[in-house]
Amino acid sequence: MSFLRTLSLTGWLAVAVLTLALILLTMCAVDSRQKAADRLRQADAGKTLAEGRTAAAQDASAIRDRADAREQQIDQSTQETTDAIRNAPDDAAAGDHGLRSLCKLYPDRDPRCRMLEARPGRVG
What confidence tens digit (pLDDT) does each residue in 37-95 have?
999 999 999 999 999 999 999 999 999 999 999 899 889 988 988 888 888 888 888 88
Rounded Cα gap, residues 53 and 60, in angstroms: 10
Q: How does the average pLDDT of the chain come out, rounded?
A: 86
> Are the C-beta atoms of 116 and 103 separated by less than 8 Å?
yes
Q: In whole angstroms, what is the distance from residue 36 CA to residue 38 CA?
A: 5
Q: Break the chain into its structural domains and give their ranges.
A: 73-124
* Residues 64, 66: Cα–Cα separation, whole Å: 5
pLDDT at position 1, please?
A: 57
Confidence band (pLDDT; 50, 70, 90) for 124?
very low
pLDDT score of 97 more than 90: no
Residue 111 Cα distances to 48, 89, 114, 116, 122, angstroms: 49, 25, 6, 9, 16
Are 101 and 124 in contact, with CB atoms under 8 Å apart?
no
Q: What is the pTM of this model?
A: 0.50
